[in-house]
Amino acid sequence: MTGRDGTPPGPYDPSRYDPRRDGGLYRPADPGPGPDPDGADDSDLPPPLDPIALADRLALNRAGTFDWDLDRRTLELDACGLEVFDLRPEEYDGRPASLAARIPPEEGYRLDAAVSQAIQDGAPSYGVYFRVHCRDGTPRWTHTQGHLLRDGDGRPYRIVGLVREAGTELADSVLLRSLQENRQRQTVMVQQTTAALSRALSVADVTRVLTGTGGARRFGADALILGLVDSGRFEVIAITGLPGTTPEDMMASRLDDTLPLSDAALTRRAAFLSSRGELIARYPRLRPYLDRIPTGSAVFLPLVAQDRVVGALGLFNAEPKQHTAEDRNLALALAGVVAQSLQRATLFDQEREFATGLQATMLPRLVPDIAGGEVAVRYHAASTGRDIGGDWYDVIPLPQGRTGLVVGDVQGHDTHAAAVMGQLRIALRAYATEGHAPETVLVRASRFLAELETERFATCTYVQADLESGALHVARAGHLGPLIRDAAGHTDWHPVRGGLPLGLATAFGQDHFPETQLFLEPGSRLLLCTDGLVETPGEDIATGIDALAAAVRDGPTGLEALADRLSDELWARSGSADDMALVLLHRHPSAGTAPTTPRFRLHVHQADPSGASEVRAMLRRTMDQWRAGSLAYDIEVAATELVTNALTHTDSGALVTVELLPTRPGVPGGARRRIRLEVEDRSSRWPRRRTPGETATSGRGLMMVEALADSWGAEPRGSGKALWCEFALPGEE
């Protein structure tokens, strides 16, 4: 470079550097008063600039300083730093947490991560871009650069640095990032909506997805309206986010162009409106309802699936908005997803309506009146799937005043299960009406099911009830047994032998369903149910069985009220994952008689080798309920001996009766309650007490009864006899 006169400037001298002239060129040092050695005149130079302090220079560049004391947890900001965060001095108390009013949580996490990483890596400084929210809500890009001060051990104790606005330098990159984030947001919205609607089976499920938590936000809207087209009319089926109640004439109307949703469905064209004013101008019919319409933008989308308009979707925003091409594409894509879901759900509802109608025709429409008692029934289909299943019940009038009670469950929860159930119910009803014994009824029903062209099997319990005598003849095919609650409030699942499920029993050549005889005393109740009433997903079925027994024991006295309690509480609370059927039978108390004596009866077949064990099991539970204490073992032994004698020495079975007799004041030995055990057979041959020798293998049964009981004896009973014994309860006077 040369001087003004063209001569070389000489060697560089920093003291002569003056950035105010010659664009930053250096000049010779000022020699003082007198002419310039170069002969140049300084009169043409501008006056010297005033010196600018560092703080002023930072302020001109929209930058400030901060001093962060990590030990005291204080962060000092100068005036320029406060301006960067758009804070007034009185709004900031020197704590870093106070900046949360301006720094969004996601930006704060990113800022903390940068500082923590610098501390962890031992770096001397860090820098990071982040956004703050100004007082008016607009975002502002900001950059901070901090230098970490460490003590002798390398522990950071202070950070000093700069914070400045960075909006201009990041304008282009932020725009690109914003576009990328917007595309990502749109992709996430479509994915979330598709995933949520993929689990919706019915139209009700679709509306729950759209109106549930976050439903409208999945579409980037604040409010949402959904309607369906049906036979030339438009019906609104879902609304969320709109204030007040919607007028009736807006909920259902003819398909025309006076309302936006109806117009979209009629023309198959989407409407994108930027404000409420534009909406009212286009659809004047909405003018009386301004208070119910958001002030912002609105979108109305036709829902078209397989070239058929199924409905329309309306989206509303609280703020006006000009819809970009990307916004329109996103809305149309979401409308396609909703349209496909609605079409699938409509077909599902039609199929379910047909299936439930078919099942309703297969279940009994009327429950017959029965002499000496009353019956209550309930049925609920599973709340998942097609609301249809294979459970059924039936109440069948039988010859000689008896009544047949049936509950069963065909495998599966579909239309095929319902069809098989209907056929099996009719067949079983026909076999029962012919007057066959319960075992025969189930054998024939099993063979009928095996001959059908199906792989389904069924479980079932059939009870033939004679309410005049209280006798219950029960047969069971892989199903739950009966639950009986007596007049005293005791409940028990009585043991009932059973066979394999219907169909399987015949396929395996084991179609044998042994019959068990129970007795329903006056004032007692019988419950038959399917497993949907006791099974809860993730829990042991024993828990449900115990809960059902407790509900029957403590439930309402009215039979219909008890049926409602069981179905509404137990079934609905368990999750309703399975269908459920129940039958309740109540035997009326005898007119004009005193309250019934606690009692149970059990019939033991002569050819049944397990009969005695069933009697013992029944006695154990009953003795526990009656608080028999140490007498329970003696009564069990006596019952075993008497039952064994009846099965061994007669040609009939045995009828076992156990009663809890009340006290009888004034009668010798009647000051205490007693337990009476009776074993009845049909043999007229009277028992004979023997005195067996030491080597005898029999003959000691009556001796043991006499030794254990307080009293015993025999009584004639029609065509046979009954051996009885009584035990006084201990501790009562």
Q: Which band of pLDDT confidence, cut at 50, 70 and 90, is reported for residue 185? A: low
Q: Which of 696, 593, 604 is nearest to 657 (CA)?
A: 604
For range 514-542, the mean pLDDT: 86
Segment holding 722, helix H or strand E: strand 720-728
Q: What is the mean pLDDT of the chain?
A: 82
Query: What pLDDT, on a 0 to 100 scale, did the predictor assign at position 563?
Result: 92
Beta strand 483-485 pairing with 525-529: antiparallel
pLDDT at 535: 81
pLDDT at 726: 93
Q: Give the least confident one: 127-131, 192-196, 508-512, 724-728.
A: 192-196
The pLDDT of residue 432 is 93
- pLDDT tens sequence across 652-677: 888 898 988 887 665 555 667 889 99
Q: 695 falls in which pLDDT band (50, 70, 90)? A: low
How far apart CA 513 and CA 475 sit, in angstroms, is 6
Residue 33 confidence (pLDDT) above 90:
no
In angstroms, the Cα distances linking 555 to 20, 304, 543 are 100, 52, 18
* Residue with token string 């015993």: 712
Tokens of 458: 């069924």
Residue 134 token pair: 């100004």
pLDDT at site 2: 45
Beta strand pairing call for 498-499 and 471-477 = parallel
Handedness of CA 34, 37, 39, 45 (dihedral sign): negative
Residue 416 vs residue 404, higher pLDDT: 404
- pLDDT: which is higher, 59 or 266: 266
H-helix or E-strand containing 472?
A: strand 471-477
Q: What percentage of the chain carries pLDDT values higher than 90?
A: 29
Mean pLDDT of 360-380: 84
Residue 521: pLDDT above 50?
yes
Cα separation, 92 vs 79, in Å, equals: 11
Average pLDDT over residues 257-267: 91
User: Contact at 8 Å (CB) between 458 and 417?
Assistant: no
> DSSP code of 502?
B
pLDDT at 34: 52
According to DSSP, residue 458 is labeled E
Using CA atoms, how far residue 672 sits from 174, 211, 279, 631, in Å, is 95, 68, 89, 14
Query: Is 517 in contact with 496 (CB distance < 8 Å)?
Result: no
* Range 407-424 average pLDDT: 86
pLDDT score, position 508 = 92
Q: What is the pLDDT of residues 152-166, one digit of tens each?
A: 888 999 999 999 988
Cross-strand partners of 195: none
Convert the pLDDT of each residue in 84-128 to its tens digit.
999 998 989 999 888 888 888 888 888 888 898 888 888 999 998
pLDDT band at 263 (very low <50, low <70, confident <90, very high): very high
Q: Which two tokens stand for residue 653?
A: 């079975």
Q: What is the DSSP string of 178-225?
A: HHHHHHHHHHHHHHHHHHHHHT--SHHHHHHHHHSTTTGGGGT-SEEE
Which two three-digit tokens encode residue 710? 């307080």
Is residue 502 within 8 Å of residue 446, measured between CB atoms?
A: yes
Q: What is the pLDDT of residue 592?
A: 44
Tokens of 66: 């901060």
**pLDDT score at 622:** 82
Q: Which of 37-41, 115-119, 371-375, 519-523 has the lowest mean pLDDT?
A: 37-41
Asked if residue 328 has pLDDT above 90, the reply is no
More confident residue, 407 or 689: 407
Digit-coded pLDDT (tens) for 304-320: 998 889 999 999 988 88
- How would residue 288 be classed by pLDDT, with cut points 50, 70 and 90? confident
Q: What is the pLDDT of residue 26?
A: 36
Please give the share of the chain, as a percent, with pLDDT higher than 70.
82
- Does pLDDT of 408 surpass 80? yes
- Biggest CA pair distance of the chain: 161
- For residue 83, give both structure tokens: 């301006």
Quick one: pLDDT at residue 665?
A: 64
Q: Are 381 and 352 in contact, with CB atoms under 8 Å apart? A: no
Quick one: average pLDDT of 445-468? 92
Looking at residue 326, its pLDDT comes to: 77
Q: What band does 453 get if pLDDT is binned at 50, 70 and 90?
A: confident
Question: In the prediction, which pLDDT does 428 show?
Answer: 95
- Local confidence band at 177 (pLDDT 50, 70, 90 cut-offs): low
Q: How confident is the model at residue 359 (pLDDT cuts 50, 70, 90)?
A: low
pLDDT of 448: 94
User: Which of 430, 382, 444, 433 has its CA nearest to residue 409?
Assistant: 382
User: Among candidates 39, 72, 51, which has minimal Cα distance to 159?
Assistant: 72
The whole-number average pLDDT for the span 694-712 is 79
Sheet with strand 525-529: strands edge to edge: 373-380, 580-587, 525-529, 483-485, 491-493
For residue range 221-251, what is the model confidence (pLDDT) as tens digits?
888 999 999 888 899 988 888 887 777 777 8
CA–centroid distance for 675 within its chain: 49
Partner residues linked to 727 by β-bridges: 675
Residue 3 confidence class, pLDDT cut points 50, 70, 90: very low
> pLDDT-based confidence at 635, cuts 50/70/90?
very high
Q: Which residue has the higher pLDDT, 71 or 666?
A: 71
pLDDT score, position 377? 93
Judged by average pLDDT, the poorest of 547-556, 625-634, 693-702 is 693-702
- 3-state SS track over 620-682: HHHHHHCCCCCHHHHHHHHHHHHHHHHHHHCCCCEEEEEEEECCCCCCCCCCCCEEEEEEEEC
Q: For residue 555, report the phi and psi dihedrals to the nearest 5 degrees.
A: -80, 180
Band of the pLDDT at 502, cuts 50, 70, 90?
very high
- CB atoms < 10 A from the CB of 250, how many? 20
648: which residues sit within 8 A by CB, 6+ positions away? none
Q: How confident is the model at residue 384 (pLDDT cuts 50, 70, 90)?
A: low
The number of residues making up the chain comes to: 733
